Structure 1
């Protein structure tokens, strides 16, 4: 009888050892690894128990030669925004009972870097790709989708036919913000938006802000400032707004991560939140609830976005070709940062 580990390559546990430990054939283990049709739950549980016991990990390169690596590529714009952690939680929850593992890349919100990261994921034979906040063109995304199943989170393109999208209704979310601020007595409402490569998310939010202002009869007060997502630039843009000749009495920020910095700058300038300036974020991340922040924000259900995107990309991997565009309705969560009442 062969000793445990005999004949291993690179010290890895082999499929034969798993079969011997589980008391089944090598073919049965192979079927479990491939999620083959007709495998009973009892057999699956027995083989999985042996894999866990022995620490067996399928060799990704070998799986790739057989056509599937059970890895998904997830491309994030950056690591600083806590909202992306919510999406990651949803992705991980969706993968909990599957064989898939997720590999992450960072695009820094630039199309050139994003293309490089995606090309690397394709070269490494990942089975599908999820892009968050992509700045790629329709043509580029179509090209990716011809090579790998693709889902884009935060990319508004309801006419796309080769890839799926998962979005919050960003225009409606921004409209809810303006309506809320007007109802709370604010009139000089500015928006702090992201400067950089075009993004359908920001375009939709800016459109919703404009719609809300016009709807409230405040079209003449529309004021959209732009800043890169660099803290010193955000601070500069905020000071320019709050120390300008026509200081806004409320600022709607494109994300919570930025809104928290705006609160910090306003406080540093001696302004009271919400009495002197109301502040609203977007994403409803966990930091909004901290007492020192108490930030009003739009909840776009980050975990749900991650869950749905993962569901869609696995469906694509399994052969679905019909396009799906999933949209989450936004919900405004009011907190102390906008509690001022008119009169």
Structure 2
């Protein structure tokens, strides 16, 4: 009688989920729950299964998963990888996926509807288990049609009426109000908003929501008739030219609220070049509290919507969809202001 003296590492190709279950002394269903990071799994069960997976060096076959209807992959569609806010969202997604054996596959839509559509279709073709769309440009009815084929959660997409997919957002209207209220408390009343051109975002976008909040706060302060909004093109060099003209205006406001740190940091950089002092000549508040905003040489006051928390919440919500939840949920998280020198020296 021969004896198999091979170590677990040498038998890895023959290890199955049943092998793991037997090694851990639990059911196959329990192993599956741990791997899917299912709700209600105890720390003790997770520890036992994880030890067995590591000792046996179990690596599930993705081909087999696909045949069973599961690939343990999540599609993460980003609007623009250049936005410094997005790495925090990605970190939040990965933090939740790490113990679940799911993996995220990233695509970048570049704010183009045709490319977004093509990427989503490819993710569906690759049998991904669910999608997280970050600030998609697609109309709600198109996302709903895709959601009939695959679970979808949209981040940075304000459609609380959607019943086919979930939405996770910071309260962008409230965030803009917080920014304006902070400027008012510092004594500024001549306040303007810099935003994206209307074609760069529709009514469900964070841009439009922040505009609504800006106008509401200015109206509440009795400044509704003098609440100007300047549109900034997305493309360079028109973007920089527009910001330069804004800074050079003879009627330039005393304070500006920027829809994103992306433009707020450019404003501060150009202001330094043109001899416009921040905050002495122009107070600036951005949005996203990006890592660049916190740098000592930048020191930009900004609205923090916690990208990491948005990513975590979106991922947990998607996993619950994958587990079978059918009713739509729409979650709003409260943003806050991080005060820095650009608001008041």
- TM-score, normalised via structure 1 length: 0.87
Which is worse superposed, 236-245 or 168-177? 236-245
Displacement after TM superposition at 1:258 (Å): 2.1
Which is worse superposed, 264-273 or 210-219? 210-219
Which residues of structure 1 form unaligned runs of 5+? 6-10
Displacement after TM superposition at 1:289 (Å): 2.0
Which is worse superposed, 210-219 or 269-278? 210-219
Is residue 72–residue 126 contact of structure 1 (8 Å, CA) maintained in 2?
Answer: yes
Which is worse superposed, 50-59 or 234-243? 50-59
**1:319 counterpart (318, 324, 328):** 324
**2:84 counterpart (73, 82, 86):** 82
Find the aligned partners of 1:118 and 1:12 in 2 and give their Cα distance. Answer: 37
**Corresponding position of 1:198:** 201
Judged with a 3 Å threshold, the aligned counterparts in structure 2 of structure 1 residues 204 and 53 are, in CA distance, closer, same or farther, namely same
Find the aligned partners of 2:267 and 2:315 in 1 and give their Cα distance. Answer: 33
CA deviations over 1:29-54 (Å, ceiling 9, x no partner): 96566338999987865664454356
Judged with a 3 Å threshold, the aligned counterparts in structure 2 of structure 1 residues 12 and 182 are, in CA distance, closer, same or farther, namely farther
- Counterparts of 1:288-327 in structure 2, within 5 Å, are 288-327=293-332
- Counterparts of 1:250-269 in structure 2, within 5 Å, are 250-269=255-274
Find the aligned partners of 1:44 and 1:4 in 2 and give their Cα distance. Answer: 27
Is residue 130–residue 309 contact of structure 1 (8 Å, CA) maintained in 2?
Answer: yes
Is residue 109–residue 134 contact of structure 1 (8 Å, CA) maintained in 2?
Answer: yes
- TM-score, normalised via structure 2 length: 0.87
Is residue 77–residue 107 contact of structure 1 (8 Å, CA) maintained in 2?
Answer: yes
**1:34 counterpart (32, 35, 57):** 32
Find the aligned partners of 2:275 and 2:42 in 1 and give their Cα distance. Answer: 67
Displacement after TM superposition at 1:185 (Å): 2.3
Displacement after TM superposition at 1:56 (Å): 4.1
**Corresponding position of 1:160:** 162
Find the aligned partners of 1:79 and 1:270 in 2 and give their Cα distance. Answer: 31
Tell me, what secondary structure is at the counterpart of 1:167?
strand
**2:246 counterpart (220, 231, 241):** 241
Find the aligned partners of 2:76 and 2:285 in 1 and give their Cα distance. Answer: 29
CA deviations over 1:312-337 (Å, ceiling 9, x no partner): 10000001112111100121122110
- Cα-Cα RMSD: 3.0
Which residues of structure 2 form unaligned runs of 5+? none
1:225 aligns with 2:230: yes
